[in-house]
Amino acid sequence: MKKLMVLLLVAVVFVACKNEPEIDYALISGQIENPVDGTVNIYKGKEKISEINLDENNAFADTLRVDRGYYTFVHGRENASVYLAPGYELGLTLDTKEFDESISFTGPGAEVNNYLAAKYLTDENMSGSVSEVFAMEEQAFLEKVNALKDAKVKLLDDAQNIDDEFMVLESKNLEFEHLTNLQQYPSYHEYFAKKDDFKASDDFLKLLDGVDFTNAEYYQSLSNYKRLVQNHYSMTLRESDHPAEIFEVLKTSASEALKTDLARMLNYEVGPNNEHNEAYYNGIMAMSSDEELKAKLTRKYEKVKLLAKGMPSPVFENYENHKGGEMSLTDLKGKYVYVDVWATWCGPCKREIPYLKEVEAKYHNNNIEFVSTSIDKAKDHSAWVEMVKDKELGGIQLFADNDWNSKFVTDYAIEGIPRFLLIDPEGNIVTADAPRPSDPKLVKLFEELKL
């Protein structure tokens, strides 16, 4: 009888264990010193999966239904990479005055996330500015990125109590990050070192040979692989004389996630200087299921067809002139007009100012007018007035009538700034996407026009 009771007890325990629900959630809680607002957010890629309110003690807590993988913790304008998995019980502390340096984790899953925090600091301390690193000559660049990769690999190897699944995934992530740096070097070096038509040495990209760009699992789980794949296809399309053939392959073989992302990315490639606009338009329309994106792209495509060289330029009328009065494009007929579309809040726009001043000075007495058109919002009008004065901006300084929604801006299909336009003395388009003042190609263009 006693033996039977023991067997029954064992059976009951077995059934209880068997029926215990599998944990499919992670717990995250924490405390923020010197918070900048009242919430923290958790993202998976671009999707917000949780918005958590801080209590009166600046603490937060939430239960998250998550798949194992990389996420982003966001507070204010700062963010940190985190790794979540069912069963994790993360405690997080940070001080916004030293966000990256102060972030720390405790509890199950802490080892992985403290490694990620240390990796970010390694990156920050060793990487240097993008412009400086990619302007380096090949050998110096390779030494830089190889040292960075080695430091991160050592950091991962030295981390304690890291589970095998994360170790394998993160090792792949570091490898794909390194390959992405190599992949981007030729085009970035051409831009930052100002070397027209730069080509890397024959062996420089050999590590990219044989990379599988079709791994749907990696594409979903590894941000660096996603960047590598997106760059690969956008570069391949850009360099191809027959992009329609590549779009056809993508339509039938790419994952739905990749097609969705590429459609959003390549939408911006449809523009005045793309000789393959039709192939891009048809390819994106075939790949995308986003009706709003397709409708927007169709409107843009119809406008871009009207922006070819020699077509009558869209015009602006009665824009406020910083020097007083108003000005229209027709007032400048008889001269070439180089238009800089910019705004006071735009960092890349402001970086072009010294170069624009140099070009203006060089061609001051020639048959060309330099027009800078601000698309600042009406509420920022005074900021425009003051910046023009403080930076002693030359040329003709105008204020658009309706910021991004100004008809001139929308007719030129402008979606990002700075944007530069060149119009001939008859009011026709020379180029609807002219070189920037910092680009030596601008002076070459002026020389070809005998300005």
Q: What percent of the chain has pLDDT over 70?
A: 95
User: Domain spanning 25-109 has what CATH number?
Assistant: 2.60.40.10
* Average of per-residue pLDDT across 24-31: 93
Q: Mean of the per-residue pLDDT values for the chain?
A: 92
What is the sign, positive or negative, of the torsion defined by CA atoms of 322, 325, 326, 331? Answer: negative
pLDDT at 443: 94
Catalytic residue chosen out of the listed positions 162, 211, 346, 451: 346
- Whole-structure pTM value: 0.78
22-26, 92-96, 266-270: which range is least confident on average? 22-26
Higher pLDDT pick, 278 / 5: 278
The pLDDT of residue 20: 55
pLDDT average, residue stretch 376-398: 96
The residue among 93, 231, 109, 209 whose CA lies nearest residue 166 is 109
DSSP assignment string, 17-39: HHHSPPP-EEEEEEEEES-SSSE
Q: Quick one: average pLDDT of 175-197?
A: 93
156 close to 123: Cβ distance less than 8 angstroms = no
Task: State both tokens at 158.
Answer: 């030295």
pLDDT of residue 279: 96
Instruction: Check whether 2 has a pLDDT greater than 80.
Output: no
Q: Is the separation of the CB atoms in 30 and 113 below 8 Å?
A: no
Q: How confident is the model at residue 130 (pLDDT cuts 50, 70, 90)?
A: very high
Same fold, 25-109 and 319-448: no
Q: Single out the residue of 3, 57, 62 nearest to residue 27, CA to CA.
A: 62
Q: What is the pLDDT of residue 315?
A: 96
DSSP per-residue string spanning 356-367 = HHHHHHHTTTSS
**What's the rounded mean pLDDT across residues 341-353?**
96
Question: Mean pLDDT throughout 75-92?
Answer: 95
Does pLDDT of 51 surpass 60? yes
pLDDT of residue 23: 75
Distances (CA, A) of 85 to 53, 144, 165, 295: 22, 33, 11, 39
Active-site residue identified among 304, 349, 356, 414: 349
CATH tag, 319-448: 3.40.30.10
Q: Does residue 17 have an active-site annotation?
A: no
What is the pLDDT at residue 19?
54
Helices marked H in 136-255 — which ranges?
A: 138-158, 164-192, 216-221, 223-239, 243-253
Residue boundaries of the structural domains of the chain: 25-109, 132-304, 319-448
